[in-house]
Amino acid sequence: MATTPAPTEEAAGTGSAANRSAVRSLLRLWPYVRPVRARLSIAAVIAVVASCTGLVIPLALKWIVDGPVADRDTGGVWLGALYLLLLGIAEAVLFGLRRWLVARPLAGVEAAMRADLYRHLQRLPVAFHDRWPSGQLLSRGTTDLMLLRMFLAFPLTFLLVNSVTILVGFLIMLAQDWTLGLVLLAPAVPVVIVCWLFEKRYSQVARQAQDQVGDLTTLVEESVLGIRIIKGFGRHRSQALAFRALSRELRGTELVKARLLAGIFAVITTLPELAVGAALVLGSVQVADGSLSAGTLVAFLSTALALRWPVESIGFLLAMSQEAATATERYFEVMDAAPEPETAPVPRPGGGPGAGAGDGGGLRFEGVRFRYPDADPGGVPVLDGVDLHVRHGETMALVGGTGSGKTTLTALVPRLHEVTEGRITLDGVDITDMPRQTLRALVAVAFEEPTLFSASVGENVLMGAADTAGEADLRRALDIAQADFVHALPHGTDTQVGEQGLSLSGGQRQRLALARAVVGNPRFLVLDDPLSALDVHTEALVEAALRRVLAGTTALVVAHRPSTVLLADRVALLSGGRVTAVGTHHELLRTSAEYAWLMSGRTETTERENR
């Protein structure tokens, strides 16, 4: 779930351009880092000091060996050991202080970025969510942000700290004996270069492995979600084969990664060791000549040892930075998407507010055209000039063939999608002229696929009402939706449902979704095939109750069958992206062949089907 490739296939970072942009991506973190910049800088300074303290320890050693030890001065030894102890304590405390300084601020940065992401995502257009699987968004809110926190905690600080440490370390060594220093310095350059080359190659393979994990996850997800189909058609074997192929492929990539890692580790182990060996031999010769003290040699080797980690780590610190840059890109990819605009995206000519006040009441569609934002702009729009007037207090059924755009049309009313052209008015007011919150308070919706949240039954239903709604409203709504099964649940209306609670059947969920739509006594009601999963008996009961509710409400009801249509005062037939006929059920049965066909499946069926 964490690593499925983004729908906007991001090109794998290649070449030096990627490296330059890595810095640019990371710079975008600044607004979040700004509030904690003071602590972060202090922590970096402390880390530099602590790291250099570590470098001074060998010097103290040298002082002991060349001073008191050589002079056989036992008192001096005590002093030296005291210095060592103090330096050691200082190092430990400073490192602890660094971590202590950044712990809470960095957790805070992570949390702030996550809260912003969540906030932003909730306000992005539904069309955006249609395009992006929730797993992709989730991985940005979890794994990617953790990577960023780690980046701020380690690579950011230690790239600086280690560079300074290496510099200081070599200055110390060169100051003591420049020939030995140069010998030790020799492998640093090739090691850094190899690390850099490795990191570029590695990040490509790592990306590939991530994508393969994503594919594998998709397969697992589908095999779980589609388990009834797989079992029903006995397809486990082919699923298992596909799984095996994918996981073997992943294993192959992981082994390529391992080979790269093995290579870099080998280089990192061998080259510095060889240099230390060379320094040891050269140093021994000089000690023998008397041109170098034994203490200096010990200090030298000790310093070289202390510098090993800073040099080796540069490679993986760069790799981590690269990963963090990718994570930042992924994060801002989502944050850069524009949230739903509050006003109409395109200024409309004419049609001022309140136009045609006489019959402007109710819900009115005027020349509404709609095309999904990701659809081919040259193609035929889903809705191509819909004109429809649902009078105040009237219930209008919306009928149309499979895939004719009924659900799409209903999504336009609460502005889940924005009309491409034309306008929709509620009691004469253009829906784009009112704040979304107001609009959505006016219009209640029940969707074709009823979603319940992880909360109690009562909370799920009362979501549809104002905060003042109470027990009585809840009971009334449950009554209308014939959801009396609720009272038989383990904790009645307090029973937890949703992903983390009791799983309910499709019919039960549908009834709760319906209760949610009617609980707030909305002025406008949009129902998308609200009774599809109910059995005949329940359907009849719900209809009888709904009729009472609908009496005073302006409603648009998507209907697939005659029984649902009968809830409505009039019916609109949606065909070819337009409303082609409006009238009562009986009028349309007489006048519209397509409607008669949709309702009975009989008239002119044979000709149509056998074409």
Q: In the set 369, 392, 560, 580, which binds another protein (CB under 8 A)?
A: 560
Q: Where are the alpha helices (DSSP H) in 519-561?
A: 536-550
**Toward another protein, which CB reaches closer, 108 or 393?**
108
**Toward another protein, which CB reaches closer, 22 or 55?**
55
Q: Which helix (H) or strand (E) holds 335?
A: helix 294-335
Q: In the set 10, 374, 484, 494, which binds another protein (CB under 8 A)?
A: 374
Site for another protein in 405-424 (CB under 8 A): 407, 411, 414, 416
Is 26 within 8 Å of 328 (Cβ atoms)? yes
Q: In the set 18, 22, 40, 80, which binds another protein (CB under 8 A)?
A: 80
Q: Which pairs with CB-CB distance under 8 Å and at least 24 residues apart come from 527-531?
A: 527/445, 527/446, 527/555, 527/556, 527/557, 527/558, 528/406, 528/407, 528/410, 528/445, 528/446, 528/447, 528/448, 528/558, 529/448, 529/558, 529/559, 529/560, 529/564, 530/446, 530/557, 530/564, 531/563, 531/564
Question: Both tokens of residue 78?
Answer: 């005590």
Q: In the set 179, 204, 208, 239, which binds another protein (CB under 8 A)?
A: 239
Q: What single-letter amino acid sits at 391?
A: R
How far apart CA 404 and CA 598 sit, in angstroms, is 12
CB of 358 to another protein, least distance (A): 30
Q: In the set 42, 186, 263, 429, which binds another protein (CB under 8 A)?
A: 263
Query: Considering the rule CB under 8 A, would residue 444 count as an interface residue with another protein?
Result: yes
CB of 406 to another protein, least distance (A): 9
Query: Considering the rule CB under 8 A, would residue 585 count as an interface residue with another protein?
Result: yes
Query: Considering the rule CB under 8 A, would residue 521 count as an interface residue with another protein?
Result: no
How far apart CA 397 and CA 550 sit, in angstroms, is 12
Query: Considering the rule CB under 8 A, would residue 247 count as an interface residue with another protein?
Result: yes
What is the separation of C-alpha 157 from the centre of its chain, rounded to a whole number of angstroms? 27
Site for another protein in 187-226 (CB under 8 A): 213, 216-218, 220-226
Query: Considering the rule CB under 8 A, would residue 178 count as an interface residue with another protein?
Result: no
**Toward another protein, which CB reaches closer, 548 or 602?**
602
CB of 15 to another protein, least distance (A): 28
- Mapped onto helix, strand or coil, the DSSP state of residue 269 is helix
Site for another protein in 50-79 (CB under 8 A): 57, 61, 64-65, 68-69, 71-74, 77-78
CB of 389 to another protein, least distance (A): 23
Question: Both tokens of residue 70?
Answer: 């050589």
CB of 89 to another protein, least distance (A): 7
How far apart CA 301 and CA 177 sit, in angstroms, is 12
**Spatial CB neighbours of 145, under 8 Å, sequence gap ≥ 6:** 110, 113, 114, 117, 327, 331
**Toward another protein, which CB reaches closer, 365 or 447?**
447
Question: Both tokens of residue 424?
Answer: 């929709």
Site track 474-503 with another protein (rule: CB under 8 A), x = hit: -----------x------------xxx--x
- What burial letters (b/e) apply to 41-62, b meaning 16+ CB within 10 Å? eebbebbbbbbbbbbbbbbbbb
Q: How does DSSP classify residue 572?
A: E
Q: In the set 23, 27, 38, 115, which binds another protein (CB under 8 A)?
A: 115
Query: Considering the rule CB under 8 A, would residue 375 count as an interface residue with another protein?
Result: yes
CB of 251 to another protein, least distance (A): 5
Of 124, 601, 242, 106, nearest to 401 by C-alpha is 601
Interacting span for another protein (CB under 8 A) from 156-164, 345-353, 400-408, 419-427: 400-408
Query: Considering the rule CB under 8 A, would residue 293 count as an interface residue with another protein?
Result: no
Site for another protein in 306-325 (CB under 8 A): 306, 309
Q: Which helix (H) or strand (E) holds 421?
A: strand 421-426
CB of 355 to another protein, least distance (A): 27
CB of 14 to another protein, least distance (A): 25
What is the Cα Rg of the chain in Å?
Answer: 35
Size of the chain in residues: 611
CB of 345 to another protein, least distance (A): 17
Query: Considering the rule CB under 8 A, would residue 552 count as an interface residue with another protein?
Result: no
